[in-house]
Amino acid sequence: MRLSAPVYRLKRKAKLLSRSQKVPLHAALDQVAAAEGFARWSLLVDSAAASPAARLIAALSPGDLVLLGARPGQGKTLLSLELAVEAIRAGRTSAFFTLEYTEVEVLTRLRAIGADPAALADKFALDTSDAICSDYIIGQLASAERGSLAVIDYLQLLDRRRDTPDLNTQVRSLRAFARRAGVILVIISQIDRSYDPAKKSCPDLSDVRLMNALDLGLFSHACFVGAYEIRWSPVPAAA
C-alpha cells in the first residue's frame, strides 16, 4: 500500500492533529494511519519498513491477476522472484514459469536476492518448458493450494506461437482460473520503447508493449517499476 507521504511527515501531521483536536498523540497517530488504510499506527510503520515485495504480498488476495511491468534492467524479474520468496515466507507455495530464462539463470537470480534455492525446493516450482501458455500453466497449477502465487515470465512471449490462443483469450483464461482456484498470478510485462523516463518517472498501463489486442482491464492490479520508485494500483474492472 503506497503512503500519501513519508512516515516522518505523517507523524508531524499527527502531532498537529493532536494539538488541534486536543486528543492524545497515540489516538492522532491511529487516526492518520486509518486515513492511509491501516487499522493502527504500528501497522503503518511496519508496512513502511517492509521490503517492496513484502508490502505487495500483503496487499494481494487469492484470485488476483497482477501485471508487473518495467523497462529492461529495472529489476522486474528480481522483484517477481522476491514476491515468490515472500509468498513462501508467508506459508504459501510459489511457482515461476519462464519462457525467457534457463533454470541456471533463474537460480542465479534467486541467489542474488539472498534466497537459497535448496531451502525453497519443496515450496518453489521452476518451469522453463517451451510449452508454456495459458492452458499449460493452468494444467500445472491444477492442484495448487488457495493463496499460492505463480509468476509468468513474460506476457509478450505468451503471444509468440501460432498454435496457442490469442493473447487476450489466454489472459482471460488465466484470470478465470485465478479466481476459480484462488491462486495469485503475476505476469511480467515489457514496456514500450517509446516510454521516456525523462518525461515520466514510472511507466503505466499506457506504456505496456502490445503487438496484438489485449484488454488490460482483465488485470486486478498493476505494478510498475521505474528507476527510483515502484508504483502499485488497482486496475479498473473489465467489462
pLDDT of res. 217: 96
List, by residue range, all CATH 3.40.50.300 domains of the chain: 52-234
**Do β-strands 221-225 and 230-234 pair in parallel, antiparallel, or remain unpaired?**
antiparallel
* pTM (predicted TM-score): 0.80
What would the pLDDT profile of 82-110 be if each residue is shown by its tens digit? 999 999 988 999 999 999 999 999 999 99
pLDDT of res. 239: 47
Q: Cα dist. 175→23, 33, 138, 165, 181 in Å?
A: 47, 32, 10, 15, 10
Sheet holding 184-189, edge to edge: 124-127, 94-98, 149-153, 184-189, 65-70, 221-225, 230-234
Task: List the chain pLDDT tens, one digit each, 239 residues.
Answer: 567 776 777 888 999 999 999 999 999 999 999 998 888 898 888 777 677 888 888 889 999 999 999 999 898 999 999 999 999 988 999 999 999 999 999 999 999 988 999 999 899 999 999 999 999 999 999 999 999 999 999 999 999 988 999 999 999 999 999 999 999 999 999 999 999 999 999 999 999 999 899 999 999 999 999 887 889 989 987 54
pLDDT of res. 58: 84
pLDDT of res. 53: 86
Beta strands in the chain (DSSP E): 65-70, 94-98, 124-127, 149-153, 184-189, 221-225, 230-234
What topology is assigned to 52-234 in CATH? Rossmann fold (3.40.50)
pLDDT of res. 43: 86
For residue 223 the three cell numbers come to 505494478
pLDDT of res. 49: 66
CB 191 within 8 A of CB 69: yes
Tell me the chain's radius of gyration from C-alpha atoms: 19
